Structure 1
Amino acid sequence: MVTGDFRFKRYKLPPEAFAIGPKKEPEPSDLVDEKTWRDLVWLTDDVSLRTSEHHGTLLRKANQLTGHWIEMVLDIQSLIQNPRDDALALACLDVYDDLQASIYTMLTGFYRQSIATLRMALEETLAGAYFRAYPNSTKVQQWADGLREGQLWVREIRKKLSKIEPYSFFETGEYKLCGKDGWVDFLYGRLSGFSHGRPFYTDEEGNRVPTSNVGLWGGSNGPVYEPRAVKLWSAFFFDTALLCLVLVGLAEKRLLDLERPTSISFKEFLERAIFWHLDIAPPHPVAREIVRFLGLL
């Protein structure tokens, strides 16, 4: 333990710290007992302390990425008359929540959930891009309302996007974006392995990857800090974020030339996302083509 470590203090934020909240903090009405609190919080607190002792730089970069993402959402909204009716604006807002949740669940040791959450981020971004390519206000509303008629399937989205510009530009070479075995297909398949109730995912080369928390914890039956799981999460997190970001850029080209962005330009955001990705692993080969198309290279 480091004397004076800021992480060892808890604070309850005042109402004015929130954009939407009560004017006066209500008094506790049903306080949790100490044992229940200990059972729920102590192990995850321990993991978060150990994780943040060894991965401060990783956490800072991931947190910065989510900050830039919500700023980009504001930029998208500024380009649209009614953001609540636009699938891309709605999807990107939800992606922000998913990225935040992914970081926090990783910080507290729930590695499977932290990776599985990323699948939702990719699904939402694909839906937003799809409705920009195939606009249909009725379908968008059905999708947003969660109606069966508005349900989308990633496989069908991939197929349809791969046939139209600008997505079709990246389907002719060795490496593809939306086509079979392309970047979207590859990453979505890997993320899906953490969303289904099985202890392992076996890839095409026969490699078994643990997809349950027990496996990711190295056999423990409770949240524990596991550096290998953090490394696995980081690869998925930055790859998902980069893929979602280029999909947004392809779907909303006006972001590329926005004169007054909320904070940094879309191109600068993309540049940082690539740099952070390179710290973990090289991006998918087709990413370079897309980045060049978007005017960064």
Structure 2
Amino acid sequence: MSKKLLLTDFRAVRSKLEPHDFAISEGQDVPPSDLIDKDVWDGIMHIPEDVSIRISDHNGKRLRLMHGLWRDWIEAIGDPSRPDEMYNCLLDAADCFQCANFNFLHGFYRAAIAELRTVLELVMIGIYGSLNPNNKDYVDWKAGKKSDLGFGRCRRGISGSLRKEQAKWMFKDDDLLAAAYQTLCNYSHSRPDASDGALWQSNGPVYNNEAITLAFVTTLSVYALSYLLVRLARRDFIMPEDSDILFELDWMPDHEALVRAFSDLYGKVPKRPPID
């Protein structure tokens, strides 16, 4: 049987924003018109809520970093009064990062990783559009029309327009970007070894250390790849200072490749990882 959290735990009580907390508001909230039944609420929320408590009990530093990276990304999107071809893609990617954090907190690890696939595709398309703003397929994609524009085609198209010193190597088939995207696709399409059940080792959601670590590290990797890509479209782009840590952590997957690409694109070597 479940038990209530102590009221001294800030997670024990839910809160609701006041109308004036929103940038656009239609006045005072109306009373509930079709309140959910308690058993339905419990059926939807009970297990994810339990997992969120357990994950936040033991992963405070990871959650702080993930939240901080999302806030940094918001700053990196650009000037809304002067949006470039990248702007809307980066804005939508921010929502995906936020959704990934929420899914991670509640134990939906596969769904979190699937959101990261969308991030990488959006950023890649944004770069392609920056380099080819009048391309018909890109224009159709922006207009919501049928288009076969996707990650693979954009990656190959961008590669053809890059010079060697622009980290062209990471756009090759089976290299850094293609390999990362394929891994993300496995989770997006719920392949047998990348399904919810495979991550939970159970029905779920449940607390699972291996899945938590996988989703956390994958999140950081996609942030790192995204910042590399942004630099190609915005040659004077400067990463938010706190996000430099993405290229300083030597335990990151593909760390050497990330450092090489960072050095190629940003013209400097990342700082050494902090020593405890």
Instruction: Mark yes or no: TM-score above 0.5.
Output: yes
Contact 1:115-1:237 at 8 Å conserved across structures: yes
- Amino acid in structure 1 at the alignment position of 2:128: Y
Structure 1 equivalent of residue 272 of structure 2: none
Q: Is 2:173 the partner of 1:184?
A: no
| CA distance in 2: counterparts of 1:12 and 1:280, whole angstroms | 39
| CA distance in 1: counterparts of 2:17 and 2:243, whole angstroms | 33
| CA distance in 1: counterparts of 2:42 and 2:214, whole angstroms | 29
Contact 2:137-2:149 at 8 Å conserved across structures: no
Q: Is 2:147 the partner of 1:154?
A: no
Assess, with a 3 A threshold, how the Cα gap between structure 1 residues 267 and 250 changes in structure 2: closer, same or farther: farther
Contact 2:69-2:243 at 8 Å conserved across structures: no
| CA distance in 2: counterparts of 1:216 and 1:14, whole angstroms | 38
Q: Is 2:260 the partner of 1:289?
A: yes
Shift of residue 91 of structure 1? Answer: 0.4
| CA distance in 1: counterparts of 2:89 and 2:164, whole angstroms | 19
- Amino acid in structure 2 at the alignment position of 1:179: K
Deviations 1:255-292 (A, max 9, x none): 23xxxxxxxxx2625513324xx275254433223322
How high is the TM-score relative to the length of structure 1?
Answer: 0.82
- Amino acid in structure 1 at the alignment position of 2:63: L
Q: Secondary structure at the match of 2:191?
A: coil
Assess, with a 3 A threshold, how the Cα gap between structure 1 residues 225 and 111 changes in structure 2: closer, same or farther: same
The count of aligned residue pairs is 264
| CA distance in 2: counterparts of 1:3 and 1:13, whole angstroms | 20
- Amino acid in structure 1 at the alignment position of 2:124: L
Could you say what the CA RMSD is over the residues aligned between the two structures, in angstroms?
Answer: 2.1
> Out of 225, 230, 246, which is 2:212 matched to?
230
| CA distance in 1: counterparts of 2:163 and 2:40, whole angstroms | 53
Structure 2 equivalent of residue 133 of structure 1: 131
> Out of 63, 66, 72, which is 1:68 matched to?
72
| CA distance in 1: counterparts of 2:184 and 2:177, whole angstroms | 10
| CA distance in 2: counterparts of 1:139 and 1:107, whole angstroms | 37
Runs of 5+ in structure 1 lacking a partner? 201-210, 257-265
| CA distance in 2: counterparts of 1:222 and 1:25, whole angstroms | 35
Deviations 1:106-130 (A, max 9, x none): 1101111011111000000000011
Q: Is 2:223 the partner of 1:273?
A: no
Q: Which runs of 4+ in 1 moved over 6 A?
A: none
| CA distance in 2: counterparts of 1:141 and 1:104, whole angstroms | 32
- Amino acid in structure 1 at the alignment position of 2:21: A
Q: Is 2:32 the partner of 1:35?
A: no
Contact 1:47-1:225 at 8 Å conserved across structures: yes
Contact 1:87-1:140 at 8 Å conserved across structures: no
Q: How does 1:203-214 map to 2 (within 5 A)?
A: 211-214=194-197
- Amino acid in structure 1 at the alignment position of 2:171: C
Shift of residue 138 of structure 1? Answer: 5.4
Runs of 5+ in structure 2 lacking a partner? 270-276
Assess, with a 3 A threshold, how the Cα gap between structure 1 residues 280 and 52 changes in structure 2: closer, same or farther: farther
How high is the TM-score relative to the length of structure 2?
Answer: 0.88
Assess, with a 3 A threshold, how the Cα gap between structure 1 residues 267 and 50 changes in structure 2: closer, same or farther: closer
Q: Is 2:17 the partner of 1:45?
A: no
Contact 2:133-2:139 at 8 Å conserved across structures: no
Q: How does 1:237-248 map to 2 (within 5 A)?
A: 237-248=219-230
Structure 2 equivalent of residue 249 of structure 1: 231
| CA distance in 1: counterparts of 2:110 and 2:128, whole angstroms | 28
Structure 2 equivalent of residue 207 of structure 1: none
> Out of 88, 92, 95, which is 2:93 matched to?
95
- Amino acid in structure 2 at the alignment position of 1:235: V
Deviations 1:220-272 (A, max 9, x none): x221111110001012100011101110012111323xxxxxxxxx2625513
| CA distance in 2: counterparts of 1:22 and 1:166, whole angstroms | 52
Identity %: 32
Assess, with a 3 A threshold, how the Cα gap between structure 1 residues 270 and 155 changes in structure 2: closer, same or farther: same
| CA distance in 2: counterparts of 1:182 and 1:279, whole angstroms | 19
